[in-house]
Amino acid sequence: MKIAFINTNREPYPLPSNIINGGLWITGKIIEDLSKNKEFDITFFTANDSVLSKTIKMESLGLPSFYKMIGNRDVTPSENAIAIFYEQLLIKEMIKQSNQRLFDCVHIHNNFFIISNFLSYISIPIVYTLHDPITPYHELFFKSNSLKLFYPIAISKYQRKIAEKMNIPIYETIYNGVDIENFEFNESGGDNLLFIGRIIKKKGVEEALKTSLLTNYPLNIVGSIREYDKDNIASFLSKINNKNIKIIKTASRTEAIKYYSTSKITLAPILWEEPFGLITVESMAAGTPVVGYARGALPEIIKDGETGFIVNPSDDDIRGNFIIKKTGIEGLCEAVERIYSMPEDQYRKMRKACREHVEKNFTVEKMVDAYEKVYEQILSIKK
């Protein structure tokens, strides 16, 4: 089975150790796993500074990753427009080769709005993983375009529900997976709260800070602050003068996993409807329970009371009848206090439940198996 993959050529794969791009990481993991199976012939449309195994063919047009070419990642609006054009050069080559029937199908992970107007030019089956939130613009696209051999994949039941309300025909729901063996399971954890990921408002970094200050438990904030985010979180940055708060602005993948495994709780008080939330799964893989707001897919990832606690965002935004009855920051604090006050054996049981939950539901192997079934199904439909 010959499959072409495309995501972005802004970054190389594997990503630099201190850069987070969940969609590209997932794309690479699917490709790596499939390439071990001789039944699959994989071509990856990517930047030429990507490093791939010998069993994966690279198509790059000789172009390095965009951020390498310009020398930084803090792009201006005009540079971002050029970056979109840069990605579309690779998309055009992928379409050209697809229409020459060099592949049986193509699996697309690009930003929808960069590639959407090109989809109708592809004449072979398209598997499309929707990594981003579904918006009215997706609905507008599908109303004005009738695509044959197009198979959208949702990454959560929540995302699928939103898509189907907008009459977007989701073919399958497949959760993202993690490399479970790369996450050291720590049965006892540590003493600190953890916030990890992009240090931006919608990720709930200020809510994590407030929770730490109100409960007086120490907090590690691990993530990146881009130049274009600084104005948006200026008020947050000005508050970091507490000895209990530590910011680690750059951390390698290995260091990030260490923070997961040696933390007491990971905070995920997201302020947006996140379609999956890989950080939540990574934390549980290391054994660390998660406390977060009931937004997006988080309620279907965390097992309330078993692998952490789910908190309703406010009294005016009740998403479910969860164990923690307080809402907002008060609810986050109550959940945190409940975990810190657990007897040691009960807390260790929760950590073990976290690991087992990921092993059962969110591994790379489970994800790839599900995609293999999709490829087989759509190609049998074609025949």
Structure confidence by residue, pLDDT tens digits, 72-91: 888 888 999 999 999 999 99
Q: Which amino acid is at 7?
A: N
Whole-number pLDDT of residue 254: 82
More confident residue, 181 or 227: 181
Whole-number pLDDT of residue 223: 83
**CATH of 180-361 among 3.40.50.920, 3.40.50.2000, 1.10.357.140, 3.40.50.300:** 3.40.50.2000
Residue 164 pLDDT exceeds 90: yes
105-109, 225-229, 315-319, 352-356: segment of lowest average pLDDT? 225-229
**CATH of 2-177+363-382 among 3.40.630.10, 3.10.180.10, 3.40.50.2000, 3.30.365.10:** 3.40.50.2000
DSSP character for 183?
S
Whole-number pLDDT of residue 203: 92
Whole-number pLDDT of residue 281: 97
What is the DSSP secondary-structure string of 189-224? Answer: --SEEEEES--SGGGTHHHHHHHHHHHT--EEEE--
Whole-number pLDDT of residue 134: 92
Whole-number pLDDT of residue 241: 65
Separation between Cα atoms, residue 257 and residue 285, nearest integer Å = 10
Residue 149 pLDDT exceeds 60: yes
Short-list 267, 275, 316, 315, CA closest to 293: 267
Tell the burial category of 184 from Cβ atoms under 10 Å away from its Cβ (0-12, 13-18, 19+): middle
Model confidence at 238, pLDDT cuts 50, 70, 90, reads low
Summarised one tens digit per residue, pLDDT across range 2-30 is 999 999 999 999 988 777 788 899 999 99
Contact assessment for residue 288 and residue 282, using Cβ atoms and an 8 Å cutoff: no
Could you give phi then psi for residue 238, rounded to 5 degrees?
Answer: -70, -15
Q: Which amino acid is at 195?
A: F
pLDDT (mean) for 106-110: 96
Q: Give the 3-state secondary structure of residue 308.
A: strand
CATH 3.40.50.2000 residue spans of the chain: 2-177+363-382, 180-361
103-112, 219-228, 248-257, 356-365: segment of lowest average pLDDT? 219-228
pLDDT (mean) for 331-357: 98
Contact assessment for residue 153 and residue 174, using Cβ atoms and an 8 Å cutoff: yes
